[in-house]
A and B are shown apart, each in its own frame.
Chain A
Amino acid sequence: SSSETMASDYSSTPVKISTINPKVLECEYAVRGEIVTLAQKLQQHLDKNPGSHPFDEIVYCNIGNPQSLGQQPITFFREVLALCDHPAILDKSETQGLFSTDSIERAFQILDQIPGRATGAYSHSQGIKGLRDTIAAGIEARDGFPSDPNDIFLTDGASPAVHMMMQLLIRSENDGILCPIPQYPLYSASIALHGGTLVPYFLDEATGWGLRISELQNQLDAARSKGIDVRALVVINPGNPTGQVLSEGNQKEIVHFCKKENLVLLADEVYQENIYVSDKQFHSFKKVARSLGFGETDLSLVSFQSVSKGYYGECGKRGGYMEITGFSPEIRDQIYKVASVNLCSNISGQILASLVMSPPKVGDESYESYFAEKDAILSSLARRAKTLEDALNGLEGVTCNRAEGAMYLFPRIELPKKAIEAAKAVDTAPDAFYARLLLNATGIVVVPGSGFGQVPGTWHFRCTILPQEEKIPAIVNRLTEFHQGFMDEYR
């Protein structure tokens, strides 16, 4: 390989560890971090030496990537996307034998909104206008309040939109962004990359990961007293990794808080279609703000949505959008300008975002099969959430809040002193130590809680609820057996 001919000493090269952007060095992203690298090495070893480990396969529970674990895509969505990818077949009679009538209709409708039906052309930098119209209509149908297609920016997944907002907000390390702890580490990584300061606010594990305004206020005040200009508040609802769904009352308090403290509200709502409990419902922050009487100019709000989660789980497509409300025309121009440097997001992802926000309706030919697929996925997710939650709560020293939504469980482990010392002895964080041993014994990959943030001295790990339902019992057995062994050794 070419690495054999490369210099082994990079000390004289311009781009080396000591001379690269320190913000790159500082940022971290545990979801695909160290534990995953170890898992991949194990996988390679297992492939070459079958039977060499006490497990047959690696089970990746580290990442919300449903289709990598067997979840099937929604047929109607894929029919429309395939037709939009290859519009040449739309006019052929054979196509009607292979595709549902309404998927063909929808493809025609979408392609008519694209000049020349050219899905290979760069679109408007905010995304194709007709698709934004559809998404705005979907938002209005969801919330009962109007949505302006000009407020929508389609992006390659929700993550680039988050980065864009951080880029706009962060001028220096004196700019702070309030983030929940635990948080999805896109936020900490993005803040680090943009040179800002993360201002943590701790969710309350004892009350189902509740968000207390008093905690927000305290953290805000403390940051300000240190000279930090706190610019925005990130709220992830439903939560990641914590899975809680905010109550409407809580959301109202948050809206008032942002208004009072002059913060941009960054509402990560990518799990809005993943709700597993009957006593909670998703309300978008825009809906809550409008229903409080907050008009367009009363609150600066950015709402993020994605095609990666929900029941559609189309992570690999990189589709998503942000809806920006309450910003001046000058800022909107600047946001447009930054979006334009990348020209546009991928067209197929844009189309999918419009399908997600405007799926088949009652009466459509595909409605019943669509609904059956959706319902099967969501009810299975709810069952898996419960099964895993119960299993984790059955383990010695482990407490696990229920997953009200999203795709994760975030159990807390009371690690015995001996385990903590053993971890220290190998220079590893105790939760990473546990995760590593778990991986080696069972092949199950989870992400240590330190990757998300936690109250100091507490230990957690994040595990997805995504392995296929029929595999869950075996996973539970292996996990339980491992944990018992672990506690026996370190109790």
Chain B
Amino acid sequence: SKPLDYENLNENVKKCQYAVRGELYLRASELQKEGKKIIFTNVGNPHALGQKPLTFPRQVVALCQAPFLLDDPNVGLLFPADAIARAKHYISLTSGGLGAYSDSRGIPGVRKEVAEFIQRRDGYPSDPELIYLTDGASKGVMQILNVIIRGQKDGILVPVPQYPLYSATIALLGGSLVPYYLEETENWGLDLFNLRQSVANARSQGTTVRAMVIINPGNPTGQCLSEANLRQVLSFCYENNLVLLADEVYQQNIYQDERPFISARKVLMGIGPPMSNELQLVSFHTVSKGYWGECGQRGGYFEMTNISPETVDEIYKVSSIALSPNVPAQIFMGLMVNPPKPGDISYDKFITESKGILESLRRRARIMTDGFNSCRNIVCNFTEGAMYSFPQIQLPARAIEAANRAGKVPDVFYCLKLLEATGISTVPGSGFGQKEGVFHLRTTILPAEEEMPEIMASFKKFNDDFMDQYEEDHHKAYSRM
């Protein structure tokens, strides 16, 4: 037998699953190679679906890549003066340009910009020394979970449904996922009773619950937590001695006005001592989402609150093994937290581009939600934030039987058929977790606005045909308005 084969592979790797690029995606890729037109809505990847990069950051980073341009008298023909100034500024903050390893925590000047952003956003000071830049938020999440998880007895509270980075990482690290179910009928709200029960259950089985993950705005669910919700979460963590991991990567993606984004840290600081001095919190952000959508850069950060200096040193040590996060993405992060201001040459264009994207996302969130809800067997909560729609698909008994016969989980069965019929590549709800016997799929709201009506029409046709095929006759008269 080979030195590395399935039999002698690390069991944790076997257990790890990541549906976002799992079975459906692989099948979609195969079909694409065969020439079928595929609409990839499996991952929050705006630029892959036609969203254009913001102009200003690309100008700045291009200049940083090729600093000899800055010496060329004709550079002003292609680049505006404020981009040129910014590029010079960022180069001066590096330890030798984009090609040198930076401080393992990230360029100090950029971390300072992040701290200033957090202060402006929340109204409370933030310490750049406790902000670490990472190659994407995912790497930061993995790093923090690796610090927390000692073994199988360490449990991490994770919302169901969740973005499967959490389940995959917990599996890889050999920890235990302690699920807490969001309540779909209450707009994917927090169910404190369920939360308490989950913790009690886990503890009764010998698990030490160490941390709680919240994703706000939610992925795949899109809900935006209210201040009251956040207070409940913080109190819960405080009472139960949990570190709160606040995934806030979608904080710019808000599509309703009742619940604007509030950071967990702001609420914590607002509560005041003793909790604000004692509750441990790690907050995550990225350049991949929002209206930036710069997924390919791999830029992110985490901010630590109330983590002891000795532990911070250990986290620094682990960061240093990776030497440094990629420098271009650090500059994207600096630009994101410190964008053009009124009066800057590039300000108007920047605002026009940004607003255009956000307003379109808001419209697309509505188009998609309404499109799903127009189907008789589908209930879809409105996408309040983030980039996804997570409709609940009621599957008839005969469809479930057909799925079982095909050896597929019912929502996988449905999504595969959807893919074959329409080219729409989604991720089955089972990839995110859901209540037993309840099925969903996750799609993104990212396809171009002009294509949305056609995509939703194509989906509806497939769904109605599917229902005609599998529904019991006496149910066909039912329709959901």
Contacts and interface: CB of A to CB of B under 8 A. Distances in A.
Contacts of B214: none
Contact of A171 (B8, B21, B104, B138): B8
A6 B176 CA distance: 30
B321 A29 contact: yes
B47 A315 contact: no
B2 A327 contact: yes
Given A15-B280, A318-B135, A2 B66 contact: no
B127 to A, nearest CB: 5
Contact of A341 (B130, B165, B317): B165
Contact of B4 (A118, A169, A344): A169
Given A13-B278, A82-B62, A346-B297, A315 B99 contact: yes
A81 B172 contact: no
Contacts of B48: 115-116, 118, 121-122
Interface in A345-379: 345-349
Most buried by B among A13, A31, A63, A170: A13
Interface stretch (B324-332, B357-365, B385-393, B468-476): B324-332
Interface in B49-78: 50, 53, 55, 58-59, 61-63, 65-69, 72, 74-75, 77-78
B253 interface: no
A121 B172 contact: no
A116 B323 contact: no
A326 B3 CA distance: 10
Interface stretch (A85-93, A136-144, A434-442, A472-480): A85-93
A417 interface: no
Interface string B5-20: 1101111111011101
Contacts of A340: 18, 20-22
B9 A168 contact: yes
Contacts of A264: 3-4
B95 interface: yes
B136 A342 contact: yes
Given A15-B210, A83-B62, A316-B101, A190 B318 contact: no
Interface string B92-109: 001111111110100000
Interface stretch (B147-155, B189-197, B256-264, B397-405): B147-155
A348 B62 contact: no
A5 interface: yes
B169 A170 contact: no
Q: For the side of the interface on A, what is the size category?
A: 35 or more
Most buried by A among B10, B13, B14, B310: B10
Given A7-B306, A120-B47, A167-B13, A343 B295 contact: yes
B241 A12 contact: yes
A469 B307 CA distance: 44
Given A121-B295, A190-B321, A313 B99 contact: yes
Nearest to B14: A334
Interface residues of B, number: 110
Given A170-B10, A171-B8, A232-B3, A68 B314 contact: no
A349 to B, nearest CB: 6
B165 A82 contact: no
B86 to A, nearest CB: 13
A323 interface: no
B65 A82 contact: yes
Nearest to A40: B103
A68 B296 contact: no
B321 A168 contact: no
B63 A20 contact: no
Contacts of A66: 99-100
Interface stretch (A72-80, A200-208, A209-217, A455-463): A72-80
A179 to B, nearest CB: 15
B120 to A, nearest CB: 15
A150 to B, nearest CB: 13
Contacts of A318: 135, 298, 324-326
B47 A118 contact: yes
B314 A25 contact: yes
B322 interface: yes
B148 A20 contact: yes
Given A67-B100, A118-B48, A193 B146 contact: yes
Contacts of B479: none
B278 A7 contact: yes
B239 to A, nearest CB: 12
A78 B101 contact: no
B140 to A, nearest CB: 11
A334 B138 contact: no
A68 B11 contact: no
A82 B69 contact: yes
A3 B307 CA distance: 10
B94 A316 contact: yes
Nearest to B287: A120
Contacts of B16: 337-338, 341
Contact of A317 (B59, B72, B243, B326): B326
Interface stretch (A155-163, A218-226, A400-408, A481-489): A155-163
A263 interface: yes
Nearest to A302: B4
Most buried by A among B101, B150, B288, B305: B101
A330 B95 CA distance: 43
A142 to B, nearest CB: 23
B65 A81 contact: yes
A88 B55 CA distance: 8
Contact of A316 (B9, B99, B288): B99
Interface string A1-44: 11101110010111111011110110111011100000000000
A24 B308 contact: no
B97 A73 contact: yes
B138 A331 contact: no
Contacts of B65: 78, 81-82, 85, 348
A238 B99 CA distance: 22
A338 to B, nearest CB: 6
A233 to B, nearest CB: 10
Interface string B322-351: 111111110000000000000000000000
B317 A29 contact: yes
Nearest to A115: B48
A316 B327 contact: yes
A2 B126 CA distance: 7
Contacts of A347: 296-297
B278 A65 contact: no
B61 A86 contact: yes
Contacts of B77: 94, 97
Contact of A29 (B4, B101, B243, B320): B320
A393 interface: no
Contact of A15 (B46, B96, B102, B307): B307
A197 interface: no
A70 B96 CA distance: 7
B243 to A, nearest CB: 5
